[in-house]
Structure formats: structure tokens, C-alpha cells
């Protein structure tokens, strides 16, 4: 595993980020910073560290997810219940640019590490706080995972089929959305500090609000018309045609032919020139009024052919479409390969494996992956040494249980 001997080259090079997060939201936000050049120091409990180390598929006792989520980060262990551990953290934060934390509101305050203390310690510090319900309001003290944020934020209500209970997406999307908002907020705060001459500030991200912010026209539609968007299965309500269809070989494809010109090309490609030239179907309103008829036509055409032939026909007609990709599909797909969406890396024992590429693509200062998720406390000596602790002092901290 390559060691962090120097700051990463990237647009965030020179920034120091301290991560107090666990599991998904906080660590994902910090991972993005690390991929684009920030020096990210992940603070973990000496007692096992981030639980993500043991989540999902394990390789020799460590989660494969961990090696991706903690890439480019340095890991140190601090016992924040120990006075000396808190003092180390204060030294670390006194020279940091960003703190990312996803404790329940009030936890840091009880440790004497609330915003008032940290802002006085380092007026330039930007503090990104990710929590279930935010730092204020009647629910602020309640625990809230991404699943709760997705439920309260409106996503779960509209996901699934009308005749069945709501369903979840296949990943913890609420946590990841919150992480993205956290990074956006941190960059805004940094611009205010560096361009406008301001000080550091708190970026307060609630998981439910992060999801709620993505809910398109839900609020005005209810407020003006009393309309409540319901579960609609695979179709896009009010936008036709856009749905998932099953091919003759049992594979599935998403077809989005809801643009006027696209719809006409689509219908001609499948031998339905009569529908392409029907003036009643020339715009979305007309197509949506005949939604069931059109989806029946498309289902029959797709269902009569194997996936490869459906894809070929739609590509030639320039109709937006995609098979429903599994990981296996992705690994051999030329688009994924051309865009370098799989990076080669090695596990601690030298076994090669592939991990997701970096997003987004920057033309001049692209993100990079220099090393995979580190061992627990791997960088204690390096980080504490840089803070001025001698080898004997670090050993004493370890004996006392502070690190």
C-alpha cells in the first residue's frame, strides 16, 4: 500500500480535513475531498474503528467497501472520552480547514468540542455536520439513518408500485446525497472564507432535508393543486414513454423516448410509422393521455426480441436507452472502460482488485487514488509526530488509552 508521503496533487491540495465520521455520510464526504487532493485525517476509536470496516463482504476480515470508502485517507486512533485524546484532537483541529462529523447532535458538545469551542480555537475552521434531522428542531436529538431520511424526505413514498408497500433503493442513497450536500456546503464556506474574507462557519446537513431537496416539483404541486405524487412503478409519471421493458431473453431495458422527435424516430424504428405521424401523439400531453396503449406497443416489440437486438435498433435510431446493468455488465462495457471507471489496486496481501473510478472528471486537476483504506491507526506516528509529539509521548498516550 502506497503511503501518503506528500499532499495529493489536485484542486483541494493544501487543505487539511479532519473526519470524525463513521459508516456512510461523513466518510463519503471526506472521501471526495481526499480524491481531489485534500489531506484527510480520519479519526477512529481505538476500539475497532469505523464499523464500516466490518460491513458487507469481508476480505481477510476487512470490508471491501472500507478499502474504497477510506482511500487516500490517513487513519489515527483517538479515545475522545479521554482528556488527552481530546487534546490531541484540538491540536489537530487548530490547524485544520474542514471538520466533517456525523455524530448525533450534542455528542461533541458533551465532550467539550462544540462549535463555540472549536471556532474560538480556529476561527477559519469549516465544520460540516451531517445528522438525521439537523442541529435544530424537535427531532434533533433523535437518531436517524439514511433509511429514515429517505422516508421522511419523501423518496420512499414514491418508490415502488401503486399496489404494494413502498420499497427502498438498493443502496443507502440518502446518506450519499447528504454527503454530496456536505461537500458542496464546505466548498461554499471555503469560498466565503478565502474570497470574501469571511471566517469559518457551520454547514448543517440533515439527511431528510438532503433527500427532500431532490424531490423535484412535489412541494408546489401539492401546495397549488393538492396533488400528492404516488408510487408509479417503472414509468415516469406525466412523461411518456419512459419505462423499463423485458426482452425475449428475460433481460431488461430502460427506454426514454419522451422527446417529441425521439418518439417519432422510435416508432419508425419499431415499424409503427402510423404512431410516429399521429398528430395526437406529437407532444407529451397527447402521448401521456394514451400511455397504456403506447406501453402495450413497446412491451410487445421489446418482448419479441433479445436484448442485443433491441439495443442495436435503439442505438441506430438514436433513442435514449440502457440495459439494466449489473456489476458483471459494467466490468466488460466499453463505455465504463473508456471513462476509466475501474481502477486497479491491491489488497493488503497483494491481491489485485478493481475499485470504482473517481467522479467527476476534471480536465486540468483530475482526482486520483493513491492508496486504499488504511489499517486502524496506521498513521498515528506520522500524524502525531507532525503535531509535535515525541516518540515517547506517543507511547505514553498509547499506554494511557488516549490513542
Catalytic residue positions, numbered: 175
Q: Which three cell numbers stand for residue 161?
A: 408500485
Residue 384 neighbours by CB under 8 Å, 6+ apart: 76, 88, 393, 394, 397, 403
The CA distance from 175 to 164, in Å, is 25
- For residues 2-12, b (16+ Cβ closer than 10 Å) or e, as one string? eebeeebebeb
The CA distance from 62 to 371, in Å, is 16
Q: Are 371 and 72 in contact (CB under 8 A)?
A: yes
Angle of CA points 316, 300, 307, to nearest 5°: 45
- 377, 373, 364: which is closest to 11 by C-alpha? 364
The CA distance from 394 to 384, in Å, is 7
- 295, 196, 181, 154: which is closest to 236 by C-alpha? 295
What are the start-end ranges of the E strands in 201-340?
202-206, 242-246, 252-256, 321-323
Eight-class DSSP state of 147: H
Entry field: residues in the chain:
403
Q: Are 202 and 135 in contact (CB under 8 A)?
A: yes
Q: At what angle do helices 307-316 and 260-269 cross, to 10 degrees?
A: 130
Helix, strand, coil percentages for the chain (3-state, nearest 5): 40, 15, 45
Cis amide linkage into residue 166, ω under 30° from 0: no
Q: What are phi and psi of 344, to 5 degrees?
A: -85, 135
End-to-end CA distance of the chain: 23
CA 311 to centroid of chain Cα atoms? 29
Amino acid at each position: 500500500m502506497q503511503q501518503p508521503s506528500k499532499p495529493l496533487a489536485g484542486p483541494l491540495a493544501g487543505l487539511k480535513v479532519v473526519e470524525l465520521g463513521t459508516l456512510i455520510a461523513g466518510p463519503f464526504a471526506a472521501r471526495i475531498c481526499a480524491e481531489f487532493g485534500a489531506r484527510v485525517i480520519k479519526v477512529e476509536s481505538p476500539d475497532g474503528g469505523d464499523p464500516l470496516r466490518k460491513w458487507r463482504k469481508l476480505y481477510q476480515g476487512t470490508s471491501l467497501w472500507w478499502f474504497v470508502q477510506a482511500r487516500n485517507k490517513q487513519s489515527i486512533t483517538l479515545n475522545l472520552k479521554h482528556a488527552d485524546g481530546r487534546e490531541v484532537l484540538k491540536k489537530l483541529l487548530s490547524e485544520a480547514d474542514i471538520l466533517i462529523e456525523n455524530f448525533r447532535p450534542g455528542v461533541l458538545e458533551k465532550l467539550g468540542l462544540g462549535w463555540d469551542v472549536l471556532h474560538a480555537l480556529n476561527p477559519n475552521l469549516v465544520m460540516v455536520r451531517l445528522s438525521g434531522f439537523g442541529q435544530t428542531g424537535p427531532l434533533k436529538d433523535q437518531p436517524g439513518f439514511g433509511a429514515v431520511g429517505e422516508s421522511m424526505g419523501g423518496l420512499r413514498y414514491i418508490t415502488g408500485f401503486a399496489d404494494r408497500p413502498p420499497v427502498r433503493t438498493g443502496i443507502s442513497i440518502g446518506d450519499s446525497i447528504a454527503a454530496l450536500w456536505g461537500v458542496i456546503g464546505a466548498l461554499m464556506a471555503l469560498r466565503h472564507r478565502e474570497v470574501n474574507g469571511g471566517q469559518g462557519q457551520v454547514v448543517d446537513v440533515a439527511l431528510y432535508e438532503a433527500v427532500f431537496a431532490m424531490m423535484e416539483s412535489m412541494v408546489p404541486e401539492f401546495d397549488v393543486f393538492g396533488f400528492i405524487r404516488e408510487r408509479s412503478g417503472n414509468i415516469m409519471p406525466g412523461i411518456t414513454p419512459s419505462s423499463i421493458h423485458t426482452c425475449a431473453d428475460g433481460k431488461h431495458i430502460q427506454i426514454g423516448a419522451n422527446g417529441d422527435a425521439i418518439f417519432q424516430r422510435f416508432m419508425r424504428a419499431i415499424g409503427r410509422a402510423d404512431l410516429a405521424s399521429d398528430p395526437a401523439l406529437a407532444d407529451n400531453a397527447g402521448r401521456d393521455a394514451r400511455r397504456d396503449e403506447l406501453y402495450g406497443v413497446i412491451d410487445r416489440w421489446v418482448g419479441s426480441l433479445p436484448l442485443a437486438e433491441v439495443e442495436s435498433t435503439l442505438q441506430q435510431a438514436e433513442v435514449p436507452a440502457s440495459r439494466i446493468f449489473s456489476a458483471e455488465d459494467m466490468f466488460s462495457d466499453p463505455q465504463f472502460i473508456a471513462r476509466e471507471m475501474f481502477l486497479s489496486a491491491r489488497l493488503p496481501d497483494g491481491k489485485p482488485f478493481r475499485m470504482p473510478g473517481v467522479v467527476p472528471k476534471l480536465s486540468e486537476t483530475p482526482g486520483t487514488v493513491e492508496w486504499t483504506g488504511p489499517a486502524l491507526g496506521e498513521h498515528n506516528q506520522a500524524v502525531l509526530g507532525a503535531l509535535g509529539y515525541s516518540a515517547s509521548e506517543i507511547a505514553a498516550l498509547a499506554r494511557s488509552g488516549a490513542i
